């Protein structure tokens, strides 16, 4: 039986929101045109998009693209549930207007992902006595997102409090099904996780996937030299699927066997 999935692309293929000097002068219309011409059916929201929801809806409709979701940098660790929920409202209304399928959530409290001089061993981590409270907050935010039709898709990300395989284990073990995972192959391998066994373990809670690849020799250098995340990607640690060391065949097999029909985003 054929496998039906939605294939999208992330705007970081053209520019980096943390470093606007990398592709920041490329017009959004160029990104949308090239995405559609390459055969993608959707593109994620990024900093290059205008901030007016109506204009965004016009642009994606013009190029016959979907907008499956977009990065939201939360500070839930530092905020109350109500403070964070209010801060999320603009993104929620925008994503609802364009009929996005997920709310991509990453906690950037104390994040070092954009710090050029902060090595990855300095990334923030939750203390043992902080996990219960944090997971309770995530559970409540996830329920509220589910109620408004935008399922939580928690993005484990280098340089943040949820980075490692152990972090993901603890997060998902202490939350409920409303808290789903954005499975990012590149970030999982960068954090020394086992992407194949992780996907098998959590596939029922994965509702969005980022398909990156990793240049192994640059990853080894980044880890041995304890580079910052920014310097690691400037060195070229990430690449497109098929150009690095990640074996996608077992991942696709797991998705097929579990009838995954959501988005794969390059």
Report residues of the chain scoring pLDDT below 50. Answer: none
In a domain? residue 209: yes
- 45 bridge partner residues: 70
Res 136: pLDDT: 99
- Residue 94 CA to residue 71 CA, distance in Å, equals 12
Res 34: pLDDT: 98
In a domain? residue 180: yes
Q: Using an 8 Å Cβ cutoff, are 265 and 211 in contact?
A: yes
In a domain? residue 18: no
Half-sphere exposure of 256 (CA within 13 A, CB side): 9
Q: How far is CA 33 from CA 36, 41, 57, 70, in A?
A: 5, 11, 15, 19
DSSP secondary structure code for residue 163 in this structure: -
In a domain? residue 12: no
Res 11: pLDDT: 92
In a domain? residue 56: no
Q: Could you tell me the CATH number of the domain that includes residue 231?
A: 3.20.20.150
- Residue 146 CA to residue 141 CA, distance in Å, equals 9
Res 4: pLDDT: 86
In a domain? residue 51: no
Q: Which domain holds residue 170?
A: 78-265
Res 108: pLDDT: 98
Q: Using an 8 Å Cβ cutoff, are 71 and 45 in contact?
A: yes
Q: How far is CA 177 from CA 1, 38, 108, 148, 154, in A?
A: 28, 35, 22, 16, 12
Res 1: pLDDT: 67
Backbone angles phi and psi of 65, in degrees to 5: -120, 155
Count how many domains the chain has.
1
- Residue 78 CA to residue 82 CA, distance in Å, equals 12
In a domain? residue 58: no
DSSP secondary structure code for residue 118 in this structure: -
- Residue 260 CA to residue 240 CA, distance in Å, equals 21
**pTM as predicted:** 0.96
In a domain? residue 99: yes
Res 24: pLDDT: 79
């Amino acid at each position: 039986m054929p496998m039906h999935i939605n294939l999208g692309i992330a705007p970081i293929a053209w520019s980096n929101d943390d470093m606007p000097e990398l592709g920041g002068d490329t017009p959004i219309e160029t990104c949308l045109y090239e995405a559609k011409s390459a055969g993608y059916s959707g593109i994620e929201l990024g900093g290059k998009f205008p901030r007016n929801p109506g204009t965004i809806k016009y642009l994606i409709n013009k190029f016959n693209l979907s907008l499956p979701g977009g990065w939201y940098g939360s500070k839930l660790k530092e905020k109350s549930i109500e403070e964070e929920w209010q801060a999320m409202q603009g993104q929620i209304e925008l994503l609802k207007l364009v009929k996005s399928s997920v709310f991509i959530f990453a906690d950037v409290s104390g994040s070092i992902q954009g710090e050029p001089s902060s090595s990855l061993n300095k990334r923030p981590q939750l203390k043992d006595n902080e996990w219960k409270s944090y997971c309770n907050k995530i559970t409540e935010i996830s329920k509220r997102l589910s109620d408004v039709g935008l399922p939580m898709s928690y993005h484990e990300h280098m340089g943040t409090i949820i980075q490692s395989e152990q972090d993901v284990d603890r997060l998902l073990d202490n939350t409920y099904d409303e808290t789903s995972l954005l499975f990012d192959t590149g970030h999982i391998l960068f954090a020394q996780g086992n992407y194949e066994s992780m996907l098998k373990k959590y596939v029922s809670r994965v509702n969005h996937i980022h398909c990156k690849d990793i240049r192994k020799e640059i990853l080894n250098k980044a880890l041995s030299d304890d580079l910052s995340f920014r310097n690691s990607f400037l060195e070229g640690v990430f690449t497109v699927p098929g150009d690095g060391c990640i074996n996608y065949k077992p991942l696709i097999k797991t998705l097929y066997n579990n009838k995954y029909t959501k988005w794969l985003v390059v």
